[in-house]
Amino acid sequence: MNDNIPDFLQDSYEAEVLENQPEFTSVLVVTATDKDVSLNEFGALRYQMSSANSAFVVDVKSGLISTRQVLDRETQGRYEFTVCP
């Protein structure tokens, strides 16, 4: 049974990335816990972006967020997105 919702260790995360960094530059790691993880097969925690995001990618197992492309501050200076466990 999966009766506990995952909790992130922080309410929100912020990071800065210098422009013109290569693709797949590590940005930060988000971390959530789930009381069901060790109880049964429903406890496998997987991370995903809540909506399509062409600039960043999250590793489904580790929560590592990386750039998916070279970022250009003149094109877009700020990114906001939601990661769901």
Q: Any idea what the CATH number is for the domain that residue 40 is in?
A: 2.60.40.60
Whole-angstrom distance, CA of residue 32 vs CA of residue 9: 6
pLDDT score recorded for residue 42 = 52
Whole-angstrom distance, CA of residue 6 vs CA of residue 16: 26
Provide the number of structural domains found in the chain: 1
pLDDT score recorded for residue 52 = 77
pLDDT level of residue 1 (50, 70, 90 thresholds): low
pLDDT score recorded for residue 25 = 97
Give residue-wise pLDDT tens across range 17-60.
Answer: 999 999 999 999 999 988 776 655 555 788 999 877 789 999 99
Whole-angstrom distance, CA of residue 46 vs CA of residue 84: 8
Task: Please tell me the pTM assigned to this model.
Answer: 0.84
Q: Name the residue range of residue 80's domain.
A: 1-85
